[in-house]
C-alpha cells in the first residue's frame, strides 16, 4: 500500500520547500526584468517628454528650457512685470493729477416758515432769496509744467462766472484761473500759483496701436479723487458727437476709444501709456454701453499748449463753412463724381448757413453745394478730415483748396482767420 501521496508529513515537507524556491526565482526574475525595462522605458519616456516639451515651447514661441513648471512660472512673472509697470506709472503720475472743484454763487430761498411771503426781506429792502457759494460740479486735470499750468476739458471750465479750485493728490487746495479755452476742441488751460509742481509729459499719440495697455486717472464721479482704471486702446480715429446733457453738442474727430473705465468727473484727466506719458485727455463716455470711452489725442493739444505759453491764448484758424463728409450714400444722393472730400451744405435751421457770411470761405467765393476735395494737394478723407487738417495751420496762413464747383474742378486760395 502506498500511502505516500496522502502522507501528511511528506506533503508538508516537500511542498513548502518547492514553493519557497519558486518565490525566490520569481523575485530574482522580477528584479532583473523591472530593472531592464525600467531603464528602457525611462530612457524612451524621457526622450518623448523632451520632444513633447520642446514642441510646446515652439508653439508658444518660448524657450522654456526646464520641465519643472517654468511655463507657468514665466507666465506669472510676465503678469507680475506688467502689473509692476502699471503700479510704477500710477505712483509716479498721480502727484501731477488734480481734482477740479467748481463752485458758484447759488440763490438760496427761505422756506415759508422762515419768511412767509418774503415779508422780512421786504422789510429789509432785500429780495426773498439769498446767495451762497455751492459746489456745482467737478472734473479732473493734470499739471504740465512746474509753474502750475494745467490741462483739462473745456466743458469742465466753461462757466465764466464760476470759481475753480484745484486739489492736489496731497490734499492741498489752490484757487485756479482759466487761461484759455479752445474754440474748437474740448480743451482748456488753467493756472495755479506756485512752483516746483510735479508734472506729466505729453507723449506721441500718432504712434499708438490698437490693443496696447493704457491707464486712466481722475476724479471719478467728482468724489473719488485719483481713481485709477486700466484697459486697452479699443480704436483710433473715432468720430463722435458728444453731448453735455444740457442740449449742447460737440463734434469730436480723430479721437481715441478705450475700454478703461471713465466716469463723470474723469473729464480732463490723463490717459497714460505704460511709460507714464500722456497720450490722451479723457473727454467722454458712451451712454447705454459699458467700457466705451473716448480721449482727445495728445498731439492735438501740443500746439495749443505752446500757444498759451507764448501768447496767453489759443488761436484757432477758421475757414467758415458747414459741411458733411462724402460717403457712398451722399455721393449717390447728390450724383457726385467723387467718393471723397466734403460737401458744403446748410444745416437744419434757417440760420445754419452753408458758408458763414464774411468768413474766409465767403471771401474766397465758396458757395453751397461746392465740394472741397483737397487742401494743399492732400485729399480730404476718413484719415485726413477737414477740421483736423485746418487746425494744423496757423491764423494768417494761406492755403489752396481744390474744389468741384458746378461741374468744374479748380483751385481756390484762402487766407485763414482767427475763430472768434
Q: Which residues are catalytic?
A: 155, 186, 267
User: What phi-psi label fits residue 275: left (phi over 0), alpha (psi between -120 and 50 degrees) or beta?
Assistant: alpha
Q: What DSSP character marks residue 355?
A: B
List the grid coordinates of 48. 518623448
| Helix, strand or coil, per DSSP, at residue 196 | coil
C-alpha cell at 12: 508538508
Look up residue 209 and give its three cell numbers. 496701436
- 128 burial type by CB count under 10 A (0-12 exposed, 13-18 middle, 19+ buried): middle
Sign of CA dihedral 150, 153, 154, 159: negative
Q: What is the dihedral angle through the alpha carbons of 144, 212, 223, 199, rounded to the nearest 10 degrees?
A: -20
The Cα-based distances of 158 to 60, 232, 244, 280, 409 in angstroms read 52, 30, 11, 20, 42
How many C-alpha atoms does 20 have within 13 Å on its Cβ side?
A: 6
Distance of CA 328 to the CA centre of its chain: 30
Q: Rounded CA gap, 165 and 156, in Å?
A: 12
Amino acid at each position: 500500500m502506498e500511502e505516500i501521496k496522502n502522507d501528511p508529513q511528506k506533503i508538508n515537507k516537500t511542498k513548502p520547500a518547492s514553493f519557497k524556491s519558486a518565490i525566490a526565482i520569481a523575485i530574482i526574475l522580477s528584479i532583473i526584468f523591472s530593472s531592464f525595462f525600467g531603464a528602457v522605458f525611462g530612457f524612451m519616456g524621457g526622450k518623448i517628454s523632451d520632444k513633447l516639451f520642446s514642441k510646446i515651447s515652439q508653439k508658444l514661441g518660448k524657450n522654456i528650457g526646464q520641465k519643472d513648471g517654468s511655463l507657468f512660472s514665466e507666465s506669472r512673472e510676465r503678469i507680475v512685470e506688467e502689473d509692476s509697470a502699471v503700479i510704477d506709472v500710477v505712483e509716479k503720475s498721480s502727484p501731477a493729477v488734480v481734482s477740479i472743484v467748481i463752485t458758484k454763487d447759488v440763490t438760496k430761498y427761505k422756506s415759508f416758515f422762515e419768511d412767509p411771503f418774503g415779508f422780512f426781506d421786504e422789510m429789509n429792502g432785500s429780495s426773498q432769496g439769498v446767495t451762497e457759494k455751492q459746489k456745482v460740479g467737478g472734473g479732473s486735470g493734470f499739471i504740465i509744467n512746474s509753474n502750475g499750468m494745467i490741462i483739462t476739458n473745456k466743458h469742465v471750465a466753461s462757466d465764466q462766472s464760476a470759481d475753480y479750485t484745484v486739489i492736489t493728490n496731497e490734499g492741498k487746495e489752490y484757487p485756479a484761473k482759466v487761461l484759455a479755452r479752445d474754440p474748437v476742441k474740448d480743451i482748456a488751460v488753467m493756472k495755479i500759483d506756485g512752483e516746483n509742481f510735479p508734472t506729466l509729459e505729453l507723449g506721441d499719440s500718432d504712434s499708438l496701436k490698437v490693443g496696447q495697455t493704457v491707464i486712466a486717472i481722475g476724479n471719478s464721479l467728482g468724489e473719488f479723487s485719483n481713481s485709477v482704471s486700466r484697459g486697452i486702446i479699443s480704436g483710433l480715429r473715432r468720430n463722435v458727437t458728444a453731448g453735455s446733457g444740457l442740449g449742447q453738442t460737440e463734434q469730436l474727430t480723430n479721437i481715441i476709444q478705450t475700454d478703461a473705465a471713465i466716469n463723470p468727473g474723469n473729464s480732463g484727466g490723463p490717459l497714460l501709456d505704460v511709460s507714464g506719458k500722456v497720450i490722451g485727455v479723457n473727454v467722454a463716455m458712451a451712454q447705454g454701453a459699458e467700457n466705451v470711452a473716448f480721449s482727445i489725442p495728445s498731439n492735438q493739444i501740443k500746439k495749443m499748449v505752446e500757444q498759451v505759453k507764448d501768447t496767453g491764448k489759443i488761436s484757432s484758424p477758421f475757414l467758415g463753412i458747414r459741411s458733411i463728409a462724402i460717403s457712398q450714400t451722399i455721393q449717390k444722393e447728390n450724383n457726385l463724381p467723387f467718393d471723397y472730400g466734403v460737401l458744403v451744405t446748410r444745416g437744419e435751421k434757417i440760420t445754419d448757413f452753408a458758408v458763414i457770411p464774411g468768413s474766409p470761405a465767403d471771401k474766397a467765393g465758396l458757395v453751397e453745394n461746392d465740394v472741397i476735395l483737397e487742401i494743399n494737394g492732400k485729399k480730404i478723407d476718413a484719415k485726413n478730415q477737414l477740421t483736423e487738417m485746418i487746425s494744423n495751420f496757423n491764423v494768417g496762413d494761406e492755403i489752396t483748396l481744390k474744389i468741384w464747383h458746378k461741374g468744374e474742378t479748380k483751385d481756390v486760395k484762402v487766407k485763414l482767420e482767427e475763430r472768434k
